[in-house]
Chain A
Amino acid sequence: MIRADSIFKSFGDTPVLQDISTEFLRGKNNLIIGRSGAGKTVLLKLLVGLLQPTKGTVWYDDIDFYSLNKRQLRDLRMQIGMLFQGSALFDSMTVQENISFPMDMFTNMTAKEKLDRVNYCLERVNLDGANKKYPSELSGGMQKRVGIARAIVLNPKYLFCDEPNSGLDPKTALVIDELISDITKESNITTVINTHDMNSVMEIGENIILLHNGRIAWRGSKDDVVHSDNEILQDFIFASPFLKRLRTKALERG
């Protein structure tokens, strides 16, 4: 479980996040949703320490994240996996070297053990046999999957995904969502996902917060979405007139 405790973040005089308090639950798909520029990425980076909050703190179970020293921080980070918006694969390395990188850097596993683990992770994301390819030779969806494989290679307890399906077609996006969700369930991971994709919200959203103007405007699960009368939420999920009509019809029928 990860808990954000009244987090404030400003860049210069511009406040981006104000008084964010929430819990991200173990074994659940925790979603941070909101329009572009709502501060989702900033919040995610605060959670993993790539940015410092102006005020407030973050708890990893019973560890106060910002009070950790360098060594402790490194130990905690070995339990964190993260999938970046642009996948952030190292382009001078092959798929195999990318996935192997955390093991090369932090473990004393033998080459054979590492290769087995790489192959297992590749299989897990349905990319078996792509070992020798370079990131530039892969499609966007495949890059995301390699990114996921690299994020889970050290069996993380916490998984962060920044817009895992941005730039993907809806079908591929769904595959990625399901993959992340399955991995979360299998290994009982605390997964935090940033998204502005309403499909993800409706498919995998178990514990959702909606960011709007730097504050949490709504929280709930996918089952609460349709029936909520929160206007900001409805405006976000049912953004197009077409979807608004669909929702009205669905509500009329009960």
Chain B
Amino acid sequence: MFLVTDYNVRALLAILTIFGRSLQLHVHMYPLRVLFHIGRYISMLGSAIARPEKNIMYYRETIRQMYDIGIGSLPIVFLISIFIGAVAALQFAFQLDGTLVPIYYIGYIVRDFAIIEASPTITCLVLAGKVGSNLASEIGGMRQKEHIDAMEIMGVNTAAYLIAPKLVAALVVIPMLVALSAFISIYGGYLAVVPTGWLSDPEYALGVRSFFNPHNFRLMFVKAVTFSFILTSVSCYQGYYVKSGSIELGKASTNAVVFSNVLILLADYFIAVLLT
């Protein structure tokens, strides 16, 4: 039997209070926090767009970043692209087997799948993991070790100096990597189905040349530019506003990857809805 004692009532009240508090936290605090981050993110980008104190310094930094992002990411882009193409080709080969669809369609499907979807999206998701976490921990480390404060004291616009060159470098280099990835994927598809006898060399080539629509190329570049902007700016944001402590630094770098990935997929969806 349930006894209405003073103790029970108080326990009930305590539970209700905790429930109410957590509800309040979720209903009121959480959206506020998101708004706070969006506001700070936008104002950071606002300060990042400014006239350089010294063009040559920004130029040098941009070149360095291009090298880091571009050359540094070549092996991984090469590897994933080969497999994107190979897996896609094999998968379609299995599915087309025994149907009325001509076998040379494999080349056509691999090409468009790579250009429209796989190369921009998968490359950028992987680069968010590699470049994004790297940017977040590099900038975050500079914040924690007071390097950013030191630059501020000198009079440097740190949001601009630390972020703009990375953004520019990424916006130039990552679309190039994506385009490269598309070509390698098509070659990866070739490797998976031609030597194994699914179809002949000329058939694959015929497929790759069929039904070409330049709009798809444009779509690829729109995606690549959008995604590289997302992964760079989100990662820089995570690093730039890191709190003190190595746990926070780890969190920033994880958040950089997770938020970039979620936002890239979200953007992918909207681009698909708007542009196809």
B54, B146, B153: the one within 8 Å of A77 (CB)? B153
**With A and B bound together, what is the CA distance between A48 and B145 in angstroms?**
18
The answer to whether B156 touches A105, judged by C-beta atoms less than 8 angstroms apart, is yes
Chain B's interface size range is 10 to 19
**With A and B bound together, what is the CA distance between A36 and B62 in angstroms?**
41
Which of A45, A86, A105 is packed against the most chain B CB atoms within 10 Å?
A105
Q: A74-B155, A77-B155 are in contact. Are A104 and B150 (CB under 8 A)?
A: no
Q: Which residues in chain B, 192-223, are within 8 Å of chain A measured between CB atoms?
A: none
Chain A residue numbers with a CB within 8 Å of B149 are 45, 50, 82, 84, 88
The answer to whether A77 touches B150, judged by C-beta atoms less than 8 angstroms apart, is no
Q: A104-B54, A104-B57, A105-B54 are in contact. Are A78 and B150 (CB under 8 A)?
A: no
Chain B residue numbers with a CB within 8 Å of A90 are 142, 147, 150
Q: Which residues in chain A, 149-187, are within 8 Å of chain B measured between CB atoms?
A: 160
The answer to whether B146 touches A80, judged by C-beta atoms less than 8 angstroms apart, is no
The answer to whether A86 touches B53, judged by C-beta atoms less than 8 angstroms apart, is no
A78, A85, A91, A106: the one within 8 Å of B146 (CB)? A85
Judge if B97 is at the interface, Cβ distance under 8 Å: no
The answer to whether A50 touches B57, judged by C-beta atoms less than 8 angstroms apart, is no
Chain A residue numbers with a CB within 8 Å of B147 are 88, 90
Interface size on A, residues (CB 8 A): 23
The answer to whether B152 touches A78, judged by C-beta atoms less than 8 angstroms apart, is no
Judge if B275 is at the interface, Cβ distance under 8 Å: no
Judge if A56 is at the interface, Cβ distance under 8 Å: no
The answer to whether A106 touches B150, judged by C-beta atoms less than 8 angstroms apart, is no
**With A and B bound together, what is the CA distance between A73 and B152 in angstroms?**
10
**With A and B bound together, what is the CA distance between A48 and B146 in angstroms?**
14
Judge if B27 is at the interface, Cβ distance under 8 Å: no
Least CB distance, A93 to chain B, in whole angstroms: 10
**With A and B bound together, what is the CA distance between A91 and B141 in angstroms?**
11
A50, A75, A91, A106: the one within 8 Å of B153 (CB)? A50
Chain B residue numbers with a CB within 8 Å of A50 are 149, 152-153
Judge if A101 is at the interface, Cβ distance under 8 Å: yes
**With A and B bound together, what is the CA distance between A73 and B157 in angstroms?**
11
Chain A residue numbers with a CB within 8 Å of B150 are 82, 84, 88, 90
Judge if A102 is at the interface, Cβ distance under 8 Å: yes
The answer to whether B154 touches A106, judged by C-beta atoms less than 8 angstroms apart, is yes
Residue of A nearest to B138 (CB): A92
Mask, B54-67, CB within 8 Å of A = 1, is 10110000000000
Chain B residue numbers with a CB within 8 Å of A102 are 154
Chain B residue numbers with a CB within 8 Å of A106 are 53-54, 154-155
Give chain A's interface residues, CB within 8 Å of chain B.
45, 48, 50, 73-75, 77-78, 80-82, 84-86, 88, 90-91, 101-102, 104-106, 160
Known pairs A101-B154, A160-B153; list 18 more (Cβ under 8 Å): A50-B149, A50-B152, A74-B155, A74-B157, A77-B155, A78-B154, A78-B155, A80-B153, A82-B149, A82-B150, A84-B149, A86-B146, A88-B147, A105-B57, A105-B155, A105-B156, A106-B53, A106-B54
Complex A-B, nearest 5 residue pairs according to Cβ-Cβ distance, in ascending order: A77-B155, A88-B150, A88-B146, A74-B155, A82-B153
